[in-house]
Chains A and B, each alone.
Chain A
Amino acid sequence: MEPEVLLQRVGEGDELAWECFVRQHQGRIFGLAYHYLGQAEDARDVAQETFVQIYRNRHRLPEESALRPWMLRIARNLCMDLFRRRKARPPVWDIPVEAICDLPAPEEDPGQLLQDQARRTRLHRALRELTDLNREMILLKDIQGLSLEDIAGLLNIPLGTAKSRSNRARLELAEKVLGQGALP
């Protein structure tokens, strides 16, 4: 089914379309919350609340091209609300690398699983060594695939700042990866 048709069906209140929609996007929304919060339980709560908010606004969903930034913005705002409620930002990503890899990405080719898990472990280890600011840039741009314009809007910073921060974060991560001794 074309994404636009699915969105239209969701807007019309078709329960099957909504179920399909949730299945399509749950991994990404949960992934974002998980990477921000570092705890699966909190991330599940935030991801669920994100979908509840999406559902409440299903009659005015943005068009397909703007959907992902819109959803990720909701999820990120909920993560920030949680941080505010906790009064302090906890050490994000401060979770055992093995725990992250225990949650494989959906539709994984079983033959590739071990190799991919090893690569993910090395990547997560390198990511954990980044500063919070750089890690967030990597998460939004390189992991979640948001455009620099979307990120500038989301973080309320000028486009040029977003671009230079992104480049700095990527270079820092590349050097951390090289510092591990081998390319993953």
Chain B
Amino acid sequence: MIRPLLPLSQALPDLTASILARTSGPACARLRDLACDLVDGTLPPDDQELAVHHLAHCQGCRDVISALEMLHQALPGLAAVDPGEAFLAGVLQRTRAPLTESYRSGDPFLSGWTRLMRRPRVALEAAYLATAAGLILAQLPLPGSSRPAGSTLASLVRTHPRTSTVWAQVPMQGMSRAVHASRARFLDAKNIARTSRPSGFTQRFAETWQRLVKTANSVWDWVRSKARGAALPSTEPSKAPSRSSL
């Protein structure tokens, strides 16, 4: 009895599959090796022809190629994620040009200083340090006196409220001498340090220090001239305008 024939299109793949099963095994693994290059279009023509031939008969490999093509299209869309509205402002805040110029200078002292000054609390810290310095200075004894400058000044204000401004000049001059003496001592120490270790940092520090001393001196002179100018009218109550106001 003759068995009914399978349609040719169905019979041949079955035959191919059974032959492959008895020889090399299915070619799917080899197709997977070439799949990415096939999707990227970088496969040599001969390999491409063979791959297309396999795909025509293998649903599993066609699915893999479809998935790879989909990924090729979709994955680049995941690259950019919105970081939120505040992000740009944060970056611009951290890259303000004047501040970063000193970063760029390569000077460790300057860039360190810039970093310090960028901190938002720096004003608070400066005020704290200034207050601390003021308190320490007020506790220093005046030359020729065992009492701290602060208490001398406070008692003057308490006992002679009207004339304390002119009297304040006396301890201030005393303090000026004290500051001057300590400055001289500091500068001597600096000179010793400079001669013993003449590095670039020392040189820079010395220059910075001299600038600071110069500024401090001019500020001190200004304060003294103001104190002297302000003291005059308070001691000669408004009979005639003072020379400074003419």
Contacts and interface: CB of A to CB of B under 8 A. Distances in A.
Interface of A: 13, 15, 18-19, 22-23, 26-28, 30-32, 34-35, 40, 43-44, 47-48, 51-52, 55-56, 59, 100, 103-106, 116, 119-120, 123-124, 138, 142-145, 166-167, 170-171, 173-175, 177-178, 183-184
Interface in B38-80: 63-64, 66-68, 70-72, 74-80
A48 B81 contact: no
A84 to B, nearest CB: 23
A136 to B, nearest CB: 13
B87 A30 contact: yes
Contacts of A34: 81
Given A44-B87, A48-B94, A138-B75, 4 more contacts: A27-B80, A30-B81, A34-B81, A174-B64
Contacts of A55: 95, 100
Nearest to B35: A171
Contact of A104 (B82, B88, B90): B82
A13 B83 CA distance: 24
B79 A174 contact: no
Given A116-B77, A171-B64, A27 B95 contact: no
Interface string B121-145: 0000000000000000000000000
B82 A27 contact: yes
Given A44-B84, A103-B81, A171-B64, A119 B74 contact: yes
B221 to A, nearest CB: 40
A167 B64 contact: no
Nearest to B60: A178
Contacts of B77: 105, 116, 120
Instruction: Give the contact-size bracket for chain B.
Output: 35 or more
B91 interface: yes
A183 B67 contact: yes
Contacts of B71: 123, 142, 170, 173-174, 177
Interface string B189-214: 00000000000000000000000000
Contacts of A119: 74
The A contact surface, by secondary structure, is helix
B32 interface: yes
B97 A13 contact: yes
B36 A177 contact: no
Given A52-B94, A52-B95, A167-B36, A174 B68 contact: yes
A170 B38 CA distance: 13
Contacts of B158: none
B95 A51 contact: yes
8 contacts: A18-B95, A23-B88, A28-B80, A40-B83, A143-B78, A166-B36, A173-B71, A174-B64
A48 B75 CA distance: 24
A120 B79 CA distance: 11
Given A13-B97, A174-B68, A52 B79 contact: no
Contacts of B1: none
A18 B95 CA distance: 9
A23 B77 CA distance: 17
Contacts of A15: 92, 97
Nearest to B67: A174
A178 B64 contact: yes
Contacts of B68: 170-171, 174
Contact of B91 (A22, A123, A142): A22
A143 B75 contact: yes
Interface string B18-36: 0000000000000011011
A119 B78 CA distance: 10
Q: Which of B33, B72, B87 has the most CB of A within 10 A?
A: B87
A174 B78 CA distance: 16
Contacts of A32: 79
